[in-house]
Structure 1
Amino acid sequence: MFAGFTAVFYREMKMLVRRIGGLGYLFSGLLFPMIYLLAFGWGLGERVDVAGGYFAYLAKGMLAITVMMNGFQQTALSVSAARFYYRNFVTLRLSPISDNALVFGIALAGMVRALAAAMVIFLTARFILGVEILSWPGAVGLVLTAFAFAAFGVAVGLSIKGQEQFSIIINFFITPMTFFCGSFFPIVNLPTFVRQLVQYLPLSLTNQLLQANHFAYDTWGIALELLTITLIVYAYGVYRVRNYREF
């Protein structure tokens, strides 16, 4: 079922190594969360009262955003570029690799990209800002989120007809999650009807896991919800590959 995914994963990672050559590729993806971490942390740090301090809270939120953005955006752009510009995605479809293995290999590489970017945020928070921001529930949340959004990136990369549609996904789905899913402030501060809309979105679940210090009954429930979303998104990615047509 998953035979051959290592070849796809190796291909994606080789492409990543080439892009990182000048370091601009990596740091361009980190510029957004680092600016927000420093701007909001310095500007609002003493004015926002949350358990553990606002800098630690915000750094955890930036971890979630970094994983989401890098997992989704880089994967979707890679798949769409293979379709529209290099026109070599059909080569993967013609290879003796199952649809499950194809999506798993691409999503796994996207997960590694996302976690590598998150590691820079983690190291910055720990050694420069002096705050501990990662627990076991948070680590599980980051891994699931990275894979889920990478798999979603595969599905979107195969679904869009052009870059304009990619911008629509960013503006109407990714950006609202960035600001309303608990990365900058607890979602309990939101109006009730908004909180009910966003509390089960994957980034909200990730932030809840990041804010937890240890696993408990509720935390395991949140992790199970996030795992369910991950499996659904992965299945959707496989569906999009299975029904993909070049023309």
Structure 2
Amino acid sequence: MLRGFSAVFYREMQMLISRIGGLGYLFSGLLFPMIYLLAFGWGLGDRVAVAGGYFAYLAKGMLAITVMMNGFQQTALSVSAARFYYRNFSTLRLSPISDSALVFGIALAGTVRALAAAAVIFLTARLFFGLEILSLPGLGGLVLTAFAFAAFGVAVGLSIKGQEQFSIIINFFITPMTFFCGSFFPVANLPEAVRQVVQFLPLSLTNQLLRADSFGESSLWEAGLLLAITLCTYAYGVYRVHGYREF
């Protein structure tokens, strides 16, 4: 079913390596979380009362945001550029690789890209704020989130008809999750009606897993739900590839 995905993954990683030489590409996905991490970390610091300290709380929230943004944005932009500018996505569709393997390969490359960006944020947080090593639930949450949003990025990259539609996804889906899913403050601080919705969003689940010390009843439920969301986004990506037509 996934036979041939390694070729797609290798192609995507080669393209990534060729782009890393440009400093703008290298730092574009890191600038937003890095600024928030340093500005809020230095500006607020211990003034915000959060269990375990606000530095650690904010740093883990920035890790979640980093994998979400880099997994989604970079993958969606790469796929849409292959359609609109390079006109070479149809070449992948003509190759003897299944739709599921194609999506898996592209999403896996997006996952690696997102986790690499998160590693930079983690090292910065550890250097400036002494962030501790992440727990197993936290690491698992980051991997699932990176893959989920990368797969969603494949679907969006194949669905949009222009840059304005991509901006709509960012403004109405990605940005609200950035600020309301527990990255900057606990979800419990939100109004009850909002919290009942927000707690089931993937970024909220990721933040909860990042702040769990070990797998327990709650973290296992959150990990299971995040896994289900990941499988759904992957299936949606495969569906979009299967129905894709160049013209």
If the length of structure 2 is used for normalisation, what is the TM-score? 0.98
Alignment of 1:34-183 (within 5 A): 34-132=34-132, 134-183=134-183
Q: Residue type of the partner of 2:112?
A: V
Within 2, Cα distance between the matches of 1:133 and 1:151? 27
Q: Secondary structure at the match of 1:169?
A: helix
1:154-180 Cα shifts (integer Å, max 9, x gaps): 000000011110000000000000000
1:187-224 Cα shifts (integer Å, max 9, x gaps): 00001111111110000000000011111111111100
- Contact 1:125/1:133 (CA < 8 Å) preserved in 2? no
Q: How many pairs align?
A: 247
Q: Secondary structure at the match of 2:200?
A: coil
Percent identity over the alignment?
83
Q: Residue type of the partner of 1:99?
A: D
Q: Which residue number in structure 1 is paired with residue 26 of structure 2?
A: 26
Residue 30 of structure 1, CA deviation: 0.6
Q: Residue type of the partner of 1:187?
A: V
Within 2, Cα distance between the matches of 1:40 and 1:134? 21
Residue 43 of structure 1, CA deviation: 1.7
Deviates more, 1:71-80 or 1:41-50: 41-50
Q: Which residue number in structure 2 is paired with residue 241 of structure 1?
A: 241
- Contact 1:59/1:133 (CA < 8 Å) preserved in 2? no
Q: Secondary structure at the match of 1:10?
A: helix
1:6-55 Cα shifts (integer Å, max 9, x gaps): 00000000000011013332212111001001111122222211111001
Within 1, Cα distance between the matches of 2:74 and 2:131? 28
If the length of structure 1 is used for normalisation, what is the TM-score? 0.98
Q: Residue type of the partner of 2:62?
A: M
Q: Residue type of the partner of 1:177?
A: M
Q: Residue type of the partner of 1:91?
A: T
1:226 aligns with 2:226: yes
1:195 aligns with 2:208: no
Q: Secondary structure at the match of 2:130?
A: coil
Q: Residue type of the partner of 1:80?
A: S
Q: Which residue number in structure 2 is paired with residue 3 of structure 1?
A: 3
Q: Which residue number in structure 1 is paired with residue 16 of structure 2?
A: 16
- Contact 1:50/1:57 (CA < 8 Å) preserved in 2? yes
- Contact 1:75/1:110 (CA < 8 Å) preserved in 2? yes
Q: Secondary structure at the match of 1:46?
A: helix
Residue 133 of structure 1, CA deviation: 5.3
Q: Residue type of the partner of 1:16?
A: L
Deviates more, 1:37-46 or 1:212-221: 37-46
Residue 129 of structure 1, CA deviation: 2.1
Question: Against the structure 1 CA distance between its residues 182 and 133, is the aligned structure 2 distance closer, same or farther, given a 3 Å change threshold?
Answer: farther
Within 2, Cα distance between the matches of 1:83 and 1:37? 35
Query: Which contiguous aligned blocks of 4+ residues in structure 1 show a shift greater than 4 angstroms?
Result: none
Q: Which residue number in structure 2 is paired with residue 205 of structure 1?
A: 205
Residue 106 of structure 1, CA deviation: 0.2
* Ranges in structure 2 where 5+ consecutive residues have no aligned partner: none
**CA-based RMSD:** 0.8
Q: Residue type of the partner of 2:130?
A: G
